[in-house]
Chains A and B, each alone.
Chain A
Amino acid sequence: MNKDTKISSNQIKGLIITSVLGVGVLSLPNNLVIIMGLDGWIPIILAGILVVGMIFIIVKIFDYFPDKDIFEISKTTLGTIISTIYQIIFLLYTIILLAYISRTLGEVIRAFLLENTPIEVIIFAFILVTSYISRCEIDVIGRMGFFIYPLIIGFILFLLLVTLPNTQFENLLPLFQSDIKALPTGLLASVISFGGFEILLFAIPYAEDRDMVFKSSASAIGIVLIIYLTIFGMSVSQFGIDQLKRLPWPTLSLVKEIDLPGLFLENLDGVVTTIWVLVVFGTLAATYFSSAKVLANLFKTKSHELFVLPLLPIIYTVSLIPQNSIELQKNMTQVLTYLSALTIFIFPISILIVSHFKSRRNNN
Chain B
Amino acid sequence: MRKIKLILLLLLITFLLTGCWDLVEINQRIYPYSFGVDIAEDKTQNEDLSLTITYPNIKALGKSPSQGEKTYVLNAKGSGLFHTARKVSTEIQGPLYFKHLRVIVFGEEVAKDPKLVKEIMDGLMRDFIINKRVNISIVKGTAEELLKTLPKNVKQESLEGTLFSLLLNIQKSTYFTPEHLSDFINSMDKKGASVVPLLHLEDGDIKAHGGGVFKDYKLVGYISGEENTALAILNNQVETEVLSAEYKGDRISLNTINIQSKKKLINDEEAIKIKYTILIEGTIQEYTINDQGSEVKDMSKLHEIENIIEKNIKERLESIIQVLQKDLNADALQIGEYLSKYHPKLWTTLKDDWDDSFPDIEIELDVAVKIRRRGLIH
Residues of A that sit less than 8 Å from B by CB: 111-112, 166, 170-171, 173-174, 177, 239-240, 242-243, 246, 253, 256-257, 259, 261, 263, 266-267
Contacts and interface: CB of A to CB of B under 8 A. Distances in A.
Contacts of B189: 240, 242-243
8 contacts: A170-B341, A240-B186, A240-B190, A256-B131, A256-B132, A257-B132, A257-B133, A267-B99
B182 A173 contact: no
B131 A259 contact: yes
Given A166-B133, A173-B341, A173-B342, 12 more contacts: A112-B128, A240-B190, A242-B189, A243-B185, A256-B131, A256-B132, A257-B131, A257-B132, A261-B170, A267-B99, A267-B100, A267-B131
B128 A266 contact: no
The 5 A-B residue pairs with the shortest CB-CB distance, nearest first, are: A242-B189, A174-B344, A173-B341, A259-B133, A111-B128
A338 to B, nearest CB: 32
Contacts of B182: 239, 243, 257
B277 interface: no
Contact of A242 (B125, B132, B186): B186
A261 to B, nearest CB: 8
Contacts of B180: 259
A188 to B, nearest CB: 26
Interface string B119-143: 0000001001001110000000000
A163 to B, nearest CB: 12
A60 B182 CA distance: 50
A257 B183 CA distance: 11
Contacts of A257: 131-133, 182
Interface residues of B, number: 20
A275 B293 CA distance: 70
Contacts of B340: 174
A147 to B, nearest CB: 28
Nearest to A112: B128
B160 interface: yes
A174 B341 CA distance: 5
Interface in B56-113: 99-100
A68 B168 CA distance: 66
A199 to B, nearest CB: 33
B190 A242 contact: yes
Contacts of B170: 261
Nearest to B187: A240
A266 B131 contact: yes
Interface string B338-357: 00111010000000000000
B22 to A, nearest CB: 8
Given A253-B132, A259-B133, A177 B99 contact: no
Contacts of A259: 131, 133, 180
B95 to A, nearest CB: 11
A193 B131 CA distance: 28
A355 B189 CA distance: 55
Contacts of B125: 246
Interface in B165-188: 168, 170, 180, 182, 185-186
A243 B185 CA distance: 8
A243 B342 contact: no
B80 to A, nearest CB: 20
Interface string B265-308: 00000000000000000000000000000000000000000000
A174 B180 CA distance: 24
A242 B342 CA distance: 16
A122 to B, nearest CB: 15
B58 to A, nearest CB: 14
A170 B339 CA distance: 12
Interface centre among A173, A240, A257, A259 (most CB of B within 10 A): A240
A79 B230 CA distance: 78
A174 B131 contact: no
Nearest to B180: A259
A243 B132 CA distance: 12
Contacts of A177: 344
A166 B160 CA distance: 21
Nearest to B128: A111
Interface string B233-265: 000000000000000000000000000000000
A156 B235 CA distance: 32
Contacts of A112: 128
A69 to B, nearest CB: 41
Contacts of A174: 340-342, 344
Contacts of A261: 168, 170
Contacts of A170: 341
B122 to A, nearest CB: 10
Nearest to A177: B344
Interface centre among A171, A177, A243, A253 (most CB of B within 10 A): A243
A239 B183 CA distance: 8
Contacts of B132: 253, 256-257
A261 B172 CA distance: 14
A89 B118 CA distance: 47
A177 B132 CA distance: 29
A177 B125 CA distance: 28
Contacts of A256: 131-132
B342 to A, nearest CB: 6
Nearest to B341: A173
A221 to B, nearest CB: 32
A267 to B, nearest CB: 6
A170 B338 CA distance: 9
B171 to A, nearest CB: 13
Nearest to A175: B344
B25 to A, nearest CB: 16
A156 to B, nearest CB: 21
A171 B170 CA distance: 26
A239 B189 CA distance: 11
Contacts of B133: 166, 257, 259
A263 B168 CA distance: 11
A173 B99 CA distance: 33
A243 B128 contact: no
A277 B182 CA distance: 27
Contacts of A267: 99-100, 131
Interface string B311-354: 00000000000000000000000000000111010000000000
A261 B169 CA distance: 11
Contacts of B160: 263
B321 to A, nearest CB: 22
